[in-house]
Amino acid sequence: MSDESNKPKIVVAERLSASAMARLEAAGAVVVLEECDEPALIAAVADADALVVRTYAKVTAAVIEAAAGGPLKVIGRAGVGVDNIDLPAAAKAGIPVVHTPASCTYAVADLVVGLIIALQRGILPADARLRAGEFKQLRLEIPLRSELQYQTLGVIGMGRIGRAVSTRLHHGFGMRIIYHDIREVGWLPFAAESKPNHEAVYAEADVVTMHVPLTASTRGMIDAKALGHFKKGSFLFNTSRGPVVEAQPLADALNEGRLAGAAIDVFSPEPPPPDHPLRSAPNCILTPHIASRSKEGVAAMHDVVEDVIAVLEGREPTYQADPALS
């Protein structure tokens, strides 16, 4: 233990909610970092019992190595994805990584539905042009789209979020569902057809939505070759991880009219620089990594402190990350 009262030292790289911080403070001596870059993390973990991060702190192999031989017992990630933590290095060091994979399922699914409707019905440009004084001609120029009940939704990754999106769009809007997942997904609470590969989904879906973790196999999976398989006039939505989609090929597909539109909530890097190709691409809605940010979603992500405290107290955590996610 790391202070005179024998409380565990808990390093928080990015401040959490007042409720989460209070729970940590009741369990240990909390240190909140002013910076969360690699040097700051390396300096902080040498005598830490726990490290808690959010989105932008990168727990690299070097950070974990700096904790070797020290008291670090757990790394907590307040969120679903764990791609900012070197899981193999943590596993090798015997340090469990806990996260909140079920925290923002509904928040993300809700945003996906909203983005689909906003993009297909031209809500953003209609609002802007009406405010500029247009009306009658604008009504005639908004493209006519088929209703969602006549469209096919293609889901890449039928995990918690993919299922929540599908449930909303099948039962609520009547969309046909097709999907591909590298794992057996089992029973689904809606009618859906499994496809043998991603390409089969891309070729048939009117709307493709990405719900995959960032791994070596998903990084750059939507590239120029993949986009070549997409049904002409279809739409792409990415609320998973920025590096899953290569920005320049997507911008090219939008500029050339091969895709009717895209909505992107995550980027590589974040924030996207001024010359990011999607910032000037047509029919493209960009949002600043907000899919998970509902009141309930953020609160549930910060509940990772419960598993951090559990490990410190010698109890089993509810959600320990699988090193295979790396």
Active-site residues, by number, are 241, 270, 289
Other Cβ atoms closer than 10 A to 139: 10
Query: CA-to-CA distance for 73 and 64, rounded, in angstroms?
Result: 11
The verdict on whether omega for the bond into residue 271 sits within 30 degrees of 0, i.e. cis, is: yes
Taken as a whole, the chain contains a residue count of 326
How far is CA 135 from its chain centroid? 37
**Alpha-helix runs per DSSP H in the chain:** 18-27, 38-45, 61-66, 87-92, 105-120, 123-131, 136-141, 160-171, 198-204, 224-227, 247-255, 295-302, 304-312
What are the backbone dihedrals phi and psi of residue 130, each rounded to the nearest 5 degrees, phi first?
Answer: -65, -40
Query: CA-to-CA distance for 199 and 203, rounded, in angstroms?
Result: 6
Other Cβ atoms closer than 10 A to 288: 11
Amino acid, res. 49: D
